[in-house]
Structure 1
Amino acid sequence: MSREIDDLDDLFENAPCGYVSAGPDGRITRANSTFASWLGREPSEFVGRRFQDFLNIAGKIYYETHFAPLMRMQGFFNEVALDLVHADGSRLPVLVNAVERRDQEGALRFVRITIFNASDRRRYERELLEARRAAENANAELQKLNHTLEERIAEAVEARMKSEAALRQAQKMEAVGQLTGGIAHDFNNMLAVILSALNLLERRLAKGEDISRYIAAAKDGAARAAAVTQRLLAFSRQQTLAPEPLYANQMVAEMSELLRRTLGEAVRLETVLAGGLWQILTDKNVLENAILNLAINARDAMTEGGRLTIETANCHLDEANGAEHDVEPGQYVMVAVTDTGTGMTPDVVAKAFDPFFTTKGPGKGTGLGLSQVFGFVKQSGGHIKIYSEIGQGTSIKIYLPRYYGAAETRKRLEARTLARGADSEVVLVVEDDEQVLALTAQMLRDLGYGVIEARGGEEALAALSAHPEIRLLFTDVVMPDMNGRRLAEKALERRPDLKVLFTTGYTRNAVEHNGVLDPSVNLLQKPASLEQLAVKIRTVLDG
């Protein structure tokens, strides 16, 4: 037994690699002779000191900031390239592996560190690589005369294949974009039928059997499906935005009460609002939803409560930052949402903005919240960045371009009461989908308006000529033969006083460009509830 111990001790001391053992406090308890000889020291000189004491300055910083946290989190790391400092001050490149050893109760007993001399390995690799290259060069020279023509043919074939692959990729991306838009349009048409029918059913059965909770559940499901569609469009930067000049400080202050109710009593809300904050030009509703999304994610990360901070600041992104984040250099307004939650690992941060990616359990998240925020920020010409550390929390910072124009805001719609019309207020409804047309017309009749139906552009123009009493053209945007924008142009040539309201689930840039509504355009997104329809129709008619 004693001889076996001696053999193991000899193997430890004279192994071709360095061995170091450290106690639970991180201090070295033993180092083998191989490791000591590499650094021109005696093994006893290492006892009581830390492994990082023998690294160069850059290595110490790298060790403390990257690999010490990694060690605490997973209990090991492999093939870490570091530089040790020899007793004479010279540098020794090494590759380091480390692993924890724990007892049955889980308490840390010691850490075993294995060190490989990278200078030897690199020399062997260089020699092997040089020998391999020499052999390859000799073989190439030998075959060169015989294969010159074949090589040129192969290069031509490869170039053609790359060109065809690039073309196929471009066609594929175009097809995906068209498919996304088509799905959004058709899906929203179906949702419009569901939502309209449920609204009418709710009114018809108001005095009958109590089925309101089933209707509410169906309406909620349809609304959530519509939200998924909108989030997909947001991620692909194809949602329609209605930007207005606003001050983020005022918006955050207005949201504070809603945020406190959403976060609950276990989470303390704090705001740090910069003085003299610049204006931004953005869609207020979408920005509010983005901040609410971030706040809900932060609340879910603070399972035992904590603190959520919303901060604003003026920032400047120089050309280097602009190029790094694919935004124009210049002045930006930052809105940051910071929590004291569990934090995210680097691999989770890398995937956080991917659609349908979520770390929540089944049924607790769609994985579209952050992707929607990402798409909105990018569509608005801004930048979004995640800063996170396990156990310390997460900060998500949104940067939106400064706006230099006048501080005039759009009038926001609020469905406080069900705005009604009169028979004399005639609305021409134009829609190529029969069910959507029928239900939309019935909803308007229930609101008190006179209604004339048309199934396309030519039929709508004929109705305008036959019915001078028509006051409002309410038309779908995406229709065959003649889209809603072209129909509106022709209608206004005949009736300059005619009011126009567009509706769609996907505009295909007919009434907006780069996701922003054209000036003076009125748009109602599909699907819309009866209350939303009532307010929008009333607002457009009243000018």
Structure 2
Amino acid sequence: MSLGPEKGTEELVREIERLRKRLSELEAAHKGQERLQDSTSEKEDPLGVFAPSEWYRSLVETSFDGIFIQKGPKIVYANRRLHEMLGYEPGELIGRDHWVVYAPEFQALTRARGQARLRGENPPSNYEVLLQRKDGSSFEGEILARRIQFEDGPGIHVWIRDLTERKTMEKKREELEQRLQQSRRLEALGTLAGGIAHNFNNLLMAIQGNVSLLLMEMDPEDPRCERLKAIEEAVRSGAGLSRQILRSARAEKVEAAVLDINGLVREVCSLFGATHKQVRIQQQLAHPIHPVRADQNLLEEVLINLMVNGLQAMSQGGELLVQTENVSLGQDETAHQGVPPGDFVRITVQDTGVGMDQATLQRIFEPFFTTREVGQGTGLGLSTAYGIVRTHGGFMTAESELGAGSTLRVYLPASKDRSATEDSGSGECRGKGTILLVDDEETILKVGTQLLEALGYRVIQARSGREALKLYEKHREEVDLVMLDMIMPQMGGSQALRALKEMDPQVRVLLCSGHFHEGETQAALSGACQGTIRKPFSLEELGQTLHRLMEAPMDSLEDRAISRTSPRAL
């Protein structure tokens, strides 16, 4: 059974328990055999070699374990199971030296212990060895040897057990237990990362909010605007780093949403360029670009993997070109890719590196295939990117020549949902109405109120989930929308959301947080709320999100919750 890294902790625990149960069964069978062995007297002829007892011979011949008896160094009896285990024909072991059943590195040891046992000494009788089949192959086994007495002298009775299954299961259990430990560490890390991200993004929100207010109040020609915009860019970079930490800790739920590919490309290129200054990154982005329904985190991973691939091909530095285009592909162009024809967004990443020969080019999307030295890469980057693109209904192509660089292209089907891009526009999207703003952070309440008032809304403040319920019950007729923070003490956003829905099923709720975990995002998608927005957000992003929520009818909002997690999510 293959367990991928996506296996949850509970499933790993169940698999470990199954293996433990099977190992216990094997151990119980082993102890039962030991009791049978211990009951054998050294002064008896237990197997009836010279005066056979039919019932006892039947028991031995059908034993799960291999059994043989030696007199001196020679095997005088071997059961059917031992012949099968070692690949010999029935009776073929009789008369051979006993050490032929052991791998060469154990023959001297077993010969010496056998001789000592025949002399009446008491060497270790139960130990693990490497056994050898007739064809020379070997496997792990366990032997238990007992001295027995024949009429004309001593002999040795040996039980042999094949440990292949037990060893395999023990190894698998160890691997699963290590994976379970890793999974639990990741869960703990995810919890820690989520808390840090929430607090960090709250700080960025305070900075972003005040910058947005200052930019709104200042003349666009004021030279200080450029400094404020530089702060905005730093805030966006900080928010991007926060998301990268969450993804590394697997603390962020992946979601499908309608995305602006140009926004995604700009952000990834900015972050990548900031940490890889030896590479010049050029962007050629088509305007307008079709929206794409996809998981923004996974598409970021795809783009980063393509850029890393280009970077590794340019050890002395070079240039990366990242391009977006709208393309229409017919049946002849898509049939061999297994996707239907239609409109696509094409993302191209071109490098000026060393390039690849045709043999390498044919294998670049294979898992674990890499041309780099051991320790310098897993060979999973492009295969992972390829798998992600295929799960989104798209495909990838590659072109390259030695000495002429490489070109990787991603084709993603355009989304038919164009409403988000058609009405997004630009500017603050001023509105009117009353908003109940719920957040336990005083700085967020302050800057949030100022942003909402600057957009033309009246604001009622609540500093906890419980206070929000009381205020909504009191002002239900005048509140047009509740802007609800997700992470708060005592009554969190999820609880408050459920209580608000019980109080008024028609309440409009915009979830707001620096970090959305799985349950919260599922609540948004199930229609419990009408949209989400991730801190830090700008005045423009807030205005556009509120405009869509306030203008759209409730039934359409319930069908498709609006998500605003960054400038690229539409």
Instruction: Give 2:252's aligned residue.
Output: 238
Q: Give the corresponding residue for 2:439.
A: 431
Distance 1:177 1:380, change over 3 A: farther
Amino acid at match of 2:408: I
Sequence identity percentage:
26
CA distance in 2, matches of 1:191, 1:428: 22
Q: Which moved more, 1:498-507 or 1:483-492?
A: 483-492
Amino acid at match of 1:414: S
- CA distance, structure 2, for counterparts of residue 184 and residue 378 of structure 1: 31
Structure 2 vs 1, CA of residues 212 and 338 (structure 1 numbering), >3 Å: closer, same or farther?
A: closer
Q: 1:164 to 1:467 in 2, by over 3 A?
A: same
Query: Which residue of the partner structure matches residue 417 of structure 1?
Result: 427
Gaps of 5+ in 2: 1-99, 115-122, 129-141, 144-162, 270-280, 368-380, 553-570
The offset of 1:340, in angstroms, is 6.3
Change (3 A) 1:185 1:281: same
Matching residue of 2:547: 538
Cα separation, 2, equivalents of 1:491 and 1:204: 36
**Counterpart pick for 1:182 among 195, 201, 204:** 195
Partner of 1:394: 406
The 1:150–1:445 alpha-carbon spacing in structure 2 relative to 1, beyond 3 Å, is: farther
Q: Give the aligned partner of residue 377 of structure 2.
A: none
Q: Deviations over 1:453-493 (max 9, x none)?
A: 11221111011112231111001223344332432232133
- Residue 408 of structure 2 aligns to a residue whose secondary structure is strand
More moved, 285-294 vs 228-237: 285-294
* Rg larger in structure: 2
Matches within 5 A, 1:465-476: 465-468=473-476, 469-476=478-485
For residue 165 of structure 1, report the CA deviation from its aligned partner. 3.5
- Residues 516 and 342 (structure 1 numbering): CA distance in 2 closer, same or farther, change over 3 Å? farther
SS of equivalent to 1:243:
strand
Tell me how far apart the structure 2 counterparts of residues 372 and 452 of structure 1 sit (CA, whole Å).
47
Alignment partners' CA distance in 2, 1:418 and 1:343 = 47
Letter in 1 for 2:535: K
Taking the aligned partners of 1:143 and 1:398, their CA distance within structure 2 comes to 67
- Cα distance in structure 2, aligned partners of 1:268 and 1:532: 23
Partner residue, 2:493: 484
Q: Does 1:138 align with 2:107?
A: yes
Q: Does the C-alpha gap of structure 1 residues 511 and 521 become closer, same or farther in structure 2, counting only changes over 3 Å?
A: farther
Distance 2:223 2:352 in 1: 43
2:197 is equivalent to residue 197 of structure 1: no
1:532 and 1:135 map into 2 onto residues whose CA distance is 74
- CA offsets 1:84-134 (integer angstroms, 9 cap, x no match): xxxxxxxxxxxxxxxxxxxxxxxxxxxxxxxxxxxxxxxxxxxxxxx9x96
The two structures, once aligned, show a CA RMSD in angstroms of 5.6
Whole-Å Cα distance in 1 between the matches of residues 521 and 233 of structure 2?
29
Question: 2:439·2:463 contact (CA, 8 Å) conserved in 1?
Answer: yes
| 1:169 CA drift (Å) | 2.5
Match of residue 314 from structure 1? 334
Question: Shift of the alpha carbon at 1:298?
Answer: 7.2
* 1:508 is aligned to 2:522: no
**Deviation of 1:522 (Å):** 0.9
Q: Please state how far the C-alpha of 1:382 moved relative to its aligned partner.
A: 6.9
Q: Where does 1:46-61 land on structure 2 (aligned, <5 Å)?
A: none
Aligned equivalent of 2:462: 454
- Per the normalisation by structure 1, the TM-score is 0.51
Q: Which residue of 2 aligns with 1:523?
A: 532
C-alpha distance in structure 2 between counterparts of 1:138 and 1:381, whole Å: 60
Q: SS in structure 1 opposite 2:519?
A: coil
| 1:18 paired residue number | none
2:108 aligned partner, one-letter code: N
Instruction: Name the residue aligned to 1:211.
Output: 224
Within the candidate set 271, 274, 282, 2:294 is matched to: 282
Deviation at 1:344, TM superposition (A): 5.8
Is the Cα contact below 8 Å between 1:485 and 1:511 reproduced in 2? Answer: yes
In structure 2, the residue corresponding to 1:342 is in which secondary structure? coil
* Structure 1 residues 467 and 295: CA distance shift in structure 2, 3 A: same
The answer to whether the 8 A contact 2:389-2:396 is kept is yes
Deviation at 1:390, TM superposition (A): 4.6
Distance 1:240 1:163 in 2: 25
CA contact (8 A) 2:324 2:346 kept: no
- For the residues of structure 1 that align with 2:170 and 2:297, how far apart are their CA atoms? 51
Structure 1 residue 464 corresponds to structure 2 residue 472: yes
- Change in CA separation of 1:303 and 1:512 when aligned onto 2, cut-off 3 Å: same
1:21-78: per-residue Cα shift (whole Å, max 9, x none)?
Answer: xxxxxxxxxxxxxxxxxxxxxxxxxxxxxxxxxxxxxxxxxxxxxxxxxxxxxxxxxx
AA aligned to 1:165 is Q
8 A contact 1:234–1:372 mirrored in 2: no
Please state how far the C-alpha of 1:509 moved relative to its aligned partner: 1.6
Q: Classify 1:163/1:417 alpha carbon distance in 2 versus 1 (closer, same or farther; 3 Å).
A: closer
| Native 8 Å contact 1:511 1:518 kept in 2 | no
Distance in 2 (CA, whole Å) between partners of 1:440 and 1:381 is: 39
Gaps of 5+ in 1: 1-130, 260-265, 272-278, 319-329, 354-368
Q: Is residue 2:349 matched to residue 1:341? A: no
Secondary structure of 1:314's aligned partner: helix
Per-residue deviation, 1:282: 2.7
Decide whether the 8 Å contact of 2:310 with 2:320 is kept in 1: no
Displacement of 1:397 after TM fit? 4.3
